[in-house]
Copies of this chain bind each other. A is one copy, B any other.
Amino acid sequence: MTSTEANSRPSSPEANSRPSSPEAGRPTKQRLAVARIMDTFEGFRSAQEVHTLLATAGETVGLATVYRALQRMAEAGEVDTLRTEEGELTYRRCSTTHHHHLVCRACGATVEIEGPAVERWAQTVSHEHGYVDVSHTLEIFGTCADCARVSTGGR
């Protein structure tokens, strides 16, 4: 149920969209299912994996719909995206503040990290070169303690 805060506003069709809900969309059964299942796991999952998870959970949602729902959620800032080294887009429910990720290559365990100094540095170095409207991508990949124990100590 969308008991959070429904805007019961007869929004005019041509009215300029408010910043409160630029790309809100309708809370359909499918979108709710996608949103709900995004809470049931920790790491990043591809759209196809989410689609499979839904099917396994009994919720049948079309693959294209899953793609559309995740895209929309990403644009709305409800989920974070991460492009794997193979180029596949993956999604994860995240906190809304700007942050980055430390991801285990083996098991996918993810840690959200922040680095104010890095953020400042990125801005500074960009401006020094005359660049404006700057954004950045920063991902750290490694082997987590558990996986490292298995691969090295498991001899």
Assembly stoichiometry (copies):
2
Known contacts: A136-B139, A138-B137. The answer to whether A131 contacts B144 by CB under 8 A is: yes
Q: Do the beta carbons of B118 and A121 come within 8 Å of each other? A: yes
A142 interface residue, CB < 8 Å from B?
Answer: yes
In the complex, A88→B111 CA distance in Å?
A: 26
Q: Do the beta carbons of B125 and A113 come within 8 Å of each other? A: yes
With a cutoff of 8 Å between Cβ atoms, the chain B residues found around residue A143 in the complex are: 131-133
Known contacts: A117-B121, A121-B117, A132-B148. The answer to whether A138 contacts B141 by CB under 8 A is: no
A129 interface residue, CB < 8 Å from B?
Answer: yes
Q: Do the beta carbons of B140 and A136 come within 8 Å of each other? A: yes
With a cutoff of 8 Å between Cβ atoms, the chain B residues found around residue A105 in the complex are: 133
In the complex, A121→B100 CA distance in Å?
A: 13
Q: Nearest Cβ distance between residue A53 and chain B, in whole angstroms?
A: 22
Which of B3, B122, B142 is A133 in contact with, Cβ under 8 Å?
B142
Across the interface, name the chain B residue whose C-beta is closest to A106. B133
Q: Using a CB-CB cutoff of 8 Å, which residues 64-101 of chain A contact chain B?
A: 83, 87-89
Known contacts: A102-B129, A118-B121, A129-B102. The answer to whether A137 contacts B135 by CB under 8 A is: no
Interface residues of A (CB under 8 A from B): 3, 83, 87-89, 102, 104-105, 111, 113, 115, 117-118, 121-122, 125-126, 129-145, 148
